[in-house]
Amino acid sequence: MPKFAANLSMLFTEVDFLDRFEAAAKAGFKGVEYLFPYDFEAGEIKQRLDDNGLTQVLFNLPAGDWGAGERGIACHPDRVEEFRAGVDRAIEYAKVLGNTQVNCLAGIQPEGVSDDEARKTLVDNLRFAAEKLEAAGILLIAEPINTRDIPGFFLNRTEQALAIFDEVGSQNLKLQYDIYHMQIMEGDLAPTIEKHFGRIAHVQLADNPGRHEPGTGEINYPFLFDHLDRLGYDGWIGCEYKPAGSTQEGLGWLDGVR
């Protein structure tokens, strides 16, 4: 049976961020993830995790100015030093919070930067991050994201991501497979997951269209959950969706699958 982690950047937004840990635990979640921890002291978040018996599953490397629309800087040639400093900051938080993997957002390809230059920058940054994180006992993951929600996002398909990972050449770099994003970009979900199963370290979900909870759209989640079980997936599945109503009202899909 899959293990589900509540994404606190999208779920339980009816309460303040630090109160979402308790809300997630009361709803039956054993793990949590979110976009970023950096607006809070690591010790403050760790206390919320401990108080509620939660596992810290995942957060992202610093990704530039999120409020201004930036969605990662790993493919930005002029932001390499900022990226590297962000790796160090993420390691500091991960060591306190106890999570053993962090995600890298490749970012939107900058205007005037060629595909080749963006790719080379991303490869170099992933190689740096993978090595630095491996020394700290932390796995680096990266995810393709659909270009409808984030136009111009550089890493946007499974095969593209894995080809870049091959170029990076690190065993400490795995794929974060977001079912919602990949349904939009390429479909063929079950065969793709099976083909690349050995390289997938984390899974996220939302239904399509709308990015709401499973059961609101076209994706056959009961089949995919069984498929992941058949393949032997023992990692977490991050619930990174926007509830169609309140978070609690939308949790009925979990009945019978955890």
pLDDT tens per residue across span 47-57: 999 999 999 99
User: What per-residue confidence (pLDDT) applies to 158?
Assistant: 98
Q: Which residues are CB-neighbours of 43 under 8 A, at least 6 positions away?
A: 96
Given a contact cutoff of 8 angstroms between Cβ atoms, the answer to whether 106 and 156 are in contact is: no
pLDDT above 80: residue 1 = no
Give the residue among 181, 150, 184 at the shortest CA–CA distance from 75: 150
Averaged confidence pLDDT in the chain: 97
Q: Which domains does the chain possess? A: 1-254 (3.20.20.150)
Closest CA to 238 of 59, 108, 85, 22: 59
* Per-residue pLDDT reduced to its tens digit, 145-193: 999 999 999 999 999 999 999 999 999 999 999 999 999 999 999 999 9
d(CA 107, CA 70): 7
Q: How many residues are listed for the chain in this entry?
A: 258
Which residues form the catalytic set? 143, 240
d(CA 119, CA 116): 5
Cβ neighbour number for residue 40 with a 10 Å cutoff: 13
- Say what the pTM is: 0.97
Split at pLDDT 50, 70, 90, the class of 257 is confident
61: which 2 tokens? 């490397």
Of the candidates 189, 204, 218, which has an alpha carbon nearest to the alpha carbon of residue 6?
204
Per the CB < 8 A criterion, the answer to whether 49 and 96 are in contact is no
Under 8 Å between Cβ of 71 and 108? yes
